[in-house]
Amino acid sequence: MKKIRPGDSNQITREYFDSLLVEMRHLDGALPETGLELFGEQFRTPVMTAALSHLGNVRENGMVQMAEGARLAGAVSWAGMGDEKELEDITTTGARTIKIIKPYVDNDYILQRIAHAEKCGVMAVGMDIDHAFSGKGKYDVVLGMEMRPKSLEEMKEFVKATKLPFVVKGVLSVKDAEKCLEAGVKGIVVSHHHGIIDYAVPPLMILPEIVRVVQKQIPVFVDCGIESGSDVFKALALGADAVCVGRALMGPLQVNGAEGVQEKIASLTEELAGIMARTGASDLSQIDPSVIWKA
């Protein structure tokens, strides 16, 4: 039996997911449509890949295979830390990709990565703000590269540096959501980066407050611990526009490559559609937060 570590944010997040219950609504029901519009483009599902990195240890060319699986599933592909050649290979698959860049200490390097992502034809770029510090209260170092927290003014400059939508990942507070709006970002990811801090508030717990502040000005995405169509539905019902799925795709990627990723995204989407049908939601916009009950 797996021992649960006190303060394990991933376990806390899982328990919160499982504490949310769903009521049924059948009268006047209709077959559901799971299509998503994002940044002016159409996708078949609100289930997106997470901004993963370094999947070569899962499968050869893992990041490229993950992107190809997303393309086959009609889903958005996200890409995390990786070299320029990898991003070029990812976008060559035709996957519509959002590139997330670490908060490197060197802002000129960040601007170079933004420019390269634009050249590759990504649909959006952004920053992973929750990797600024280590767990020991020092500046983080990732694969030998130093990180730094970014100020509101720096974030404004990054937003201005690109014509693409700029997305901030790692928002887990109303305060950061408000600053993102002030900076002019075009999307945020509510996430605790798979438990980067102990006792982190579950993303779905704080999501309604962030959605209330954002007021549909920009899309809000949710990351961390999404394993099923039920999880997807609960996130959407509480105000998310789409979700990012990471670890639940790694097994299928390892076993069956891009096809495995495609099949898993399709399965999650089918599960989502099943719950939509039984809660009176004919499309994503009709998912009603009042169907969610807290146990």
pLDDT of residue 151: 98
Residues 220-250: pLDDT tens digits? 999 999 999 999 999 999 999 999 999 999 9
Q: Hey, which residues does 294 pair with through a beta bridge?
A: 20
Domain spans of the chain, in order of start: 45-282
Is the whole-model pTM more than 0.95? yes
Domain 45-282 has CATH 3.30.70.260: no
Residues 187-205: pLDDT tens digits? 999 999 999 999 999 999 9
Q: Once rounded to an integer, what is the mean pLDDT over residues 43-62?
A: 96
* Catalytic residue, candidates 26, 116, 193, 194: 193
| pLDDT class of 184 with cuts at 50, 70, 90 | very high
Give the amino acid at 256.
N
Residue 156: pLDDT over 90: yes
Q: For residue 91, what is the DSSP state?
A: H
Known catalytic residue at 116: no
Residue 1: pLDDT over 70: no
CB-count exposure of residue 137 (10 Å: 0-12, 13-18, 19+): exposed
| pLDDT class of 4 with cuts at 50, 70, 90 | confident
Kindly report the three-state secondary structure assignment for every residue of 242-285.
EEEECHHHHHHHHHHHHHHHHHHHHHHHHHHHHHHHCCCCCEHH
